[in-house]
């Protein structure tokens, strides 16, 4: 018979995952021990193992929870039924706000997925791919002609390149807030998106391109 969960289990688990993410982000996953986690949470190791099997399971829960939050943000934005440009802007703003509130979790997701065991790693990476696909679809909605040349995924990754690494330089006490940076990212992306040229069609040697036809 499974041991019943105590009152407040989910709250305690959330607090424990937040403390673990902070340790992994600041000390590194490899250097953090379960003793460190127990001490940071104010728990005994025996109590800690009531919540997780081991350090691998702890990392899996931290990364899984963060990806699920990001997927929930995507779903919330899509549910608004916004016009294409407003949808992509809202995605950028929501993700930058999420990164501000979960910088440790985001750093762990960005840097420590390689330490996950195979099953959890596949699950987390699949969630990340769904998030990137949602951004790619939002980009195509703004410039539909990009879809035929499979450029949206690359543009989505370039967009994440602007957002994902802000934890390495953006400081809460600095002159820029995450809201400021979100606006800058949107303006840079939308300013550059119209300038992205479609790929030139490659014609094999010895062949001439077919003439364009009108419909």
Whether 176 has a pLDDT exceeding 50, the answer reads yes
Q: How many alpha carbons fall within 13 Å on the CB side of residue 48?
A: 21
Across residues 181-186, what is the average pLDDT? 94
Note the pTM of the prediction, 2 decimals. Answer: 0.84
% of the chain with per-residue pLDDT over 70: 90
pLDDT at 149: 84
**Burial of 162 (C-beta count, 10 Å sphere; 0-12/13-18/19+):** middle
Across residues 21-25, what is the average pLDDT? 96
pLDDT at 199: 83
pLDDT at 205: 52
39 confidence band (pLDDT: 50, 70, 90): very high
Multiple choice CATH, 55-169+177-194, 3.20.20.140, 3.90.1150.10, 1.10.40.30, 1.10.357.10: 1.10.357.10
Backbone CA torsion sign across 149, 151, 153, 156: negative
Percentages of the chain per state (helix, strand, coil), in multiples of 5: 70, 0, 30
User: 24-33, 102-111, 113-122, 195-204: lowest mean pLDDT where?
Assistant: 195-204
Higher pLDDT, 153 or 208: 153
- Please tell me the distance from the alpha carbon of residue 178 to that of residue 167, in angstroms, as a whole number: 10
- Please tell me the distance from the alpha carbon of residue 88 to that of residue 137, in angstroms, as a whole number: 9
Across residues 81-87, what is the average pLDDT? 97
% of the chain with per-residue pLDDT over 90: 69
């Amino acid at each position: 018979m499974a041991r019943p969960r105590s009152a407040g289990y989910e709250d305690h688990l959330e607090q424990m995952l937040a403390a673990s993410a902070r340790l992994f982000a600041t000390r590194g996953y490899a250097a953090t021990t379960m003793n460190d986690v127990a001490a940071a949470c104010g728990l005994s190791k025996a109590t800690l193992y009531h919540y997780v099997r081991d350090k691998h399971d702890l990392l899996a829960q931290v990364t899984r929870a963060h990806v699920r939050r990001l997927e929930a943000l995507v779903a919330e934005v899509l549910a608004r039924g916004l016009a294409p440009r407003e949808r992509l802007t809202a995605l950028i703003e929501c993700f930058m706000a999420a990164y501000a509130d979960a910088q440790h979790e985001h750093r762990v997701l960005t840097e420590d997925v390689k330490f996950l065991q195979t099953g959890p790693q596949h699950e987390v990476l699949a969630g990340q791919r769904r998030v990137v696909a949602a951004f790619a679809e939002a980009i195509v909605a703004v410039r539909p002609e990009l879809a035929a040349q499979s450029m949206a995924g690359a543009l989505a990754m370039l967009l994440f390149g602007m957002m994902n690494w802000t934890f390495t330089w953006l400081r809460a006490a600095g002159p820029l807030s995450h809201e400021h940076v979100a606006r800058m990212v949107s303006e840079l992306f939308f300013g550059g998106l119209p300038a992205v040229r479609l790929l030139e069609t490659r014609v094999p040697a010895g062949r001439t391109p077919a003439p364009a036809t009108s419909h």
